[in-house]
Amino acid sequence: MKKTNQQWAAEVAVLKAQLPCYLASASKELEKTSAERFMASGVVISITDLTGKLVVTPFMCADGLESATIAALKSQIKKTLDLQAISSKVGA
């Protein structure tokens, strides 16, 4: 079965998202979404699965993200990086 351009684009997006440099960059950039920076504004959140399918309809978080939300997302990124480090050692 031949892959469509959309399928290829989804695969590329997943591979990019898994790269440690993208994860580390995302972790740093999360600070930009804080309530202090988005007061009287907001951030839009949408969630897609690994195939590129929209799982959560985009919604706005007024006044940016709470520090607890940012910390939770950073923790998830760290977990992903740690799992990649473990799997690369096992596969070596």
Residue ranges making up the domain that contains 65: 5-91
pLDDT tens digits along 67-92 = 999 999 999 988 887 877 766 666 55
Model pTM score: 0.68
Q: What tokens appear for 9 in the block?
A: 């684009």
Q: Which residue has the higher pLDDT, 48 or 88?
A: 48
For the chain, the domain total comes to 1
pLDDT of residue 50: 75
Across the chain, mean pLDDT equals 84
Long-range contact set of residues 46-53: C-beta below 8 Å, sequence gap at least 24: 50/10, 50/14, 51/10, 52/6, 52/9, 52/10, 52/13
